[in-house]
Structure 1
Amino acid sequence: MPDPTIDAGHPPEAMLAIVNPALRLALKTPLGGLLSDFMLVSFTGRKSGKRYSTPVSAHQLDGDLYVVLEAQWKYNFRDGADAQVSHRGKTRTMRGELITDRSAVAGICERVATSYGVKKAQRQMGMAFDGGRLPTIAEWEDAVGRMKIAVIKLTSKT
């Protein structure tokens, strides 16, 4: 079986243990305005009731913010949930909607990756692309199913 075109490309855990606390702090301050590639999503666990604050890459399409992720915390946004989102130095309440439909997620991932170009897409999306090229929609659909990739769409609650 050939190697997958798209695979996880996350930074090492030791690096995240240092970077994530610094990002959590910085993204809540005016300094966060300089870190526009990232945002802090703070939400309450559906089952635990515990409060979480997770720094993630900020992906923008058509004026909306998106989180592309494999992590299990995505299920806290099933059926929608409010979140405090700190992005570009400002914090606001937004509504997060979990998108799991394979073709919808693949389409969003393909658009996000294309908007960045190969190198930035790999870095911002935490993924590795085989062959130094952007994946096709079919390759994204395969990765969505295999890696359990989903998207959280964050929209303003005005």
Structure 2
Amino acid sequence: MADQSAAVEAVHPPDALLRVVNPALKFALKSPLGGPLSDFMLVSFTGRKSGKRYATPVSAHQLDGSLYVVLEAQWKYNFKGGAPVQVSHRGKTRTMRGELITDPAAVVDIVERLALSYGPKKAQRQMGMSFSGGRLPTRAEWEDAVGRLKIAAIKLS
């Protein structure tokens, strides 16, 4: 159950919806159809421990000319120490390197700047989060959320 006093909470679409939408997104993002879907990208990587291949549609975040994934999901740890990743974005697929960023101050800076650039409504949708009162969180609220939800960023370069 969500903490009612928390200013930021993670929000995920229902599993049933993801089972329908994710395969279509995976197909579209790897094709020329992916061009207009610039808010999303497909990250394909190999699990560090399992050796299994994964392809995950995620929101594409652009900041200072770099692409980022912002997430609290456990698969982020596949990028600890850096890892190769195939990124399908805007209809093109390229090999990149994903670097996990877990330093709280750095993550707070990234999420705060992204949210500010989007505005409250789009930020909630793009970042998979809900903000108390529909307003942008304060820096202190981001600091709480990053620590409590274990939010991290993956920088793709």
TM-score normalised by L of structure 2:
0.96
Query: Aligned ranges for residues 1-158 of structure 1 at < 5 Å?
Result: 3-155=5-157
Displaced runs of 4 or more, over 2 A = none
Query: Any idea what the Cα deviations from partners look like across 1:55-82, whole Å, max 9, x if unmatched?
Result: 0000000110000001100000000001
Tell me the distance in 2 between the aligned counterparts of 1:85 and 1:16: 20
Shift of 1:28: 0.2
Where 2:113 maps in the other structure, the secondary structure is helix
Tell me the distance in 1 between the aligned counterparts of 2:19 and 2:108: 29
Number of aligned pairs?
155
Tell me the distance in 1 between the aligned counterparts of 2:79 and 2:145: 21
Aligned identity (percent) is 77
Tell me the distance in 2 between the aligned counterparts of 1:55 and 1:21: 9
Q: Are the structure 2 counterparts of residues 38 and 2 from structure 1 closer, same or farther at C-alpha, using a change threshold of 3 Å?
A: closer
Q: Are the structure 2 counterparts of residues 90 and 2 from structure 1 closer, same or farther at C-alpha, using a change threshold of 3 Å?
A: closer
Tell me the distance in 2 between the aligned counterparts of 1:132 and 1:40: 28
The amino acid that maps onto 1:147 is L
TM-score normalised by L of structure 1:
0.96
Tell me the distance in 1 between the aligned counterparts of 2:108 and 2:27: 32
CA RMSD of aligned residues (A): 1.0
Shift of 1:2: 5.8
Q: Are the structure 2 counterparts of residues 18 and 2 from structure 1 closer, same or farther at C-alpha, using a change threshold of 3 Å?
A: closer
